Amino acid sequence: MKQNLRPLALAALLCALSFGTGAFLNGPAETPITKEAIRGAETLFGLAFTDTERDSLLKGMQEQREDYESIRKVNLPNDVAPALLFNPVPPGMTFDRTRKPFKVSSPGKVELPANRDDLAFYSVLQLSRLIHDRKITSVELTRFCLDRLKKYGPKLECVVSLTEELALAQAQKADADLKAGKDRGLLHGIPYGAKDLFAKAGYKTTWGSVPYKEQVINEDATVIARLEAAGAVLVAKLTMGELAMGDVWFGGTTRNPWDIGQGSSGSSAGSASAVAAGLVPFALGTETLGSIVSPATVCGVTGLRPTFGRVSRAGAMALSWSMDKIGPMCRTVEDCAVVFNAIYGPDGKDLTVADLPFNYDPSVKLGSLRVGYLKRDFERDYPNKSFDSTALARLRGMGVELVPLELPQLPIRDLTFIISVEAAAAFDELTRSDRDDLMVRQGRGAWPNIFREGQLVSAVQYLQANRVRSLLIREMAGRLKDIDVYVTPSRGSANLALTNLTGHPCVTIPNGFSAVGTPLSITFVGQLYGEARMLAAAKAYQDATDFHRKHPNLVW
* Pair (150, 274) in one structural domain: yes
Domain membership flag for residue 448: no
The answer to whether residue 91 is domain-embedded is no
* Same-domain check for residues 121 and 56: no
In a domain, 41, yes or no: yes
Asked whether residue 487 is domain-assigned, the answer is: yes
Q: Is the domain of 25 the same as that of 163?
A: no
DSSP state for residue 307 in the 8-state scheme: P
For residue 219, the Cα-to-chain-centroid distance in whole angstroms is: 21
**Would residue 435 count as lying in a domain?**
no
In a domain, 312, yes or no: yes
Catalytic option among 123, 267, 312, 320: 267
Give the pLDDT confidence of 504-548 residue by residue, as tens digits.
999 999 999 999 999 999 999 999 999 999 999 999 999 999 999
Can you tell me the distance from the alpha carbon of 270 to that of 447, in angstroms, rounded to the nearest whole number?
19
Rounded to an integer, the average pLDDT of 189-193 is 99
Percent of the chain at pLDDT > 70 equals 95
Lowest-confidence region among 1-5, 248-252, 499-503: 1-5
135 in active site? no
Other beta carbons less than 10 A from residue 108's beta carbon? 8
pLDDT score, position 453: 93
Q: Is residue 127 part of a domain?
A: yes
Among candidate residues 138, 268, 291, 420, the one labeled active-site is 291
Q: Give the Cα separation of 160 and 154 in Å (integer).
A: 10
Helix (H) or strand (E) holding 460: helix 459-479
With vertex at residue 24, the alpha carbon angle to CA 20 and CA 27, rounded to the nearest 5 degrees, is 100
Q: Do 370 and 341 form a contact (C-beta atoms < 8 A)?
A: no
CB-neighbour burial class of residue 555 (10 A; exposed 0-12, middle 13-18, buried 19+): exposed
**What's residue 30's pLDDT?**
65
Same domain, 284 and 188: yes
User: For residue 12, is pLDDT > 70?
Assistant: no
Catalytic residue among 195, 200, 213, 325: 195
- List Cβ neighbours of 454 (8 Å cut-off, separation of 6 or more): 417, 420, 421, 422, 423, 424, 425
Q: What is the pLDDT of residue 61?
A: 87
One domain for residues 38 and 122 = no
Shared-domain flag, residues 69 and 129: no
User: Mind listing the pLDDT tens digit for each residue in 351-385?
Assistant: 999 999 999 999 999 999 999 999 999 999 998 89
Q: What is the pLDDT of residue 29?
A: 56
Strands 248-249 and 252-253: antiparallel
By three-state DSSP, how is residue 145 classified?
helix
Statement: residue 466 has pLDDT above 80: yes
Phi, psi torsion values for 253, nearest 5 degrees: -120, 120
Asked whether residue 81 is assigned to any structural domain, the reply reads no
Give pLDDT, residue 212.
98
158 and 13 within one domain: no
Is residue 155 among the annotated active site residues? Answer: no
Give the Cα separation of 388 and 378 in Å (integer): 7
Q: At what angle do helices 138-156 and 269-276 cross, to 10 degrees?
A: 120
Please indicate, yes or no, whether residues 132 and 47 belong to a single structural domain of this protein: no
> Helix 124-132 vs helix 138-156: angle between axes, to the nearest 10 degrees?
150
Q: Are residues 367 and 271 in the same domain?
A: yes
Instruction: Enter the pTM of the model.
Output: 0.94
CA dihedral over 381, 264, 186, 354, signed as positive or negative? negative
The reported pLDDT for the residue numbered 44 is 84
Determine contact, residues 470/23, Cβ cutoff 8 Å.
Answer: no
Residue 122's pLDDT is 98
**pLDDT value at 125 more than 70:** yes
pLDDT of residue 547: 98
Mean pLDDT of the chain: 94
Looking at residue 205, which CATH number applies to its domain? 3.90.1300.10
Number of domains within the chain:
2
Do residue 403 and residue 258 come from a single domain? yes
Q: Say if residue 67 is in the same domain as residue 170.
A: no
Last residue of a domain, one of 43, 58, 74: 74
Measured distance between the N- and C-terminal CA atoms of the chain, rounded to whole angstroms? 69
Nearest CA-CA partner of 304 in 545, 536, 546: 536
Q: Is the pLDDT of residue 556 over 90?
A: no
pLDDT band at 16 (very low <50, low <70, confident <90, very high): very low
- For 204-242, write each residue's pLDDT tens digit: 999 999 999 999 999 999 999 999 999 999 999 999 999
Nearest to 274 by CA among 169, 189, 188, 160: 160
Q: Is the pLDDT of residue 22 over 60?
A: no
* Residue 21 pLDDT exceeds 70: no
User: What is the arithmetic mean of pLDDT over 165-171?
Assistant: 98
32-41, 146-155, 317-326, 436-445: least confident range: 32-41
291 assigned to active site: yes
Q: How far apart are CA 262 and CA 156, in angstroms?
A: 10
Residue pLDDT, tens place only, 257-278:
999 999 999 999 999 999 999 9
Per residue in 69-123, pLDDT (tens digit) is: 999 999 999 999 999 999 999 999 999 999 999 999 999 999 999 999 999 999 9
pLDDT at 13 over 50: no
Query: Is the same domain home to 195 and 344?
Result: yes
Q: Which of 74, 89, 105 is the last residue of a domain?
A: 74
- 70: phi then psi, degrees, rounded to nearest 5: -65, -45
* Residues spanned by the domain of 57: 1-74
Q: What is the pLDDT of residue 45?
A: 86
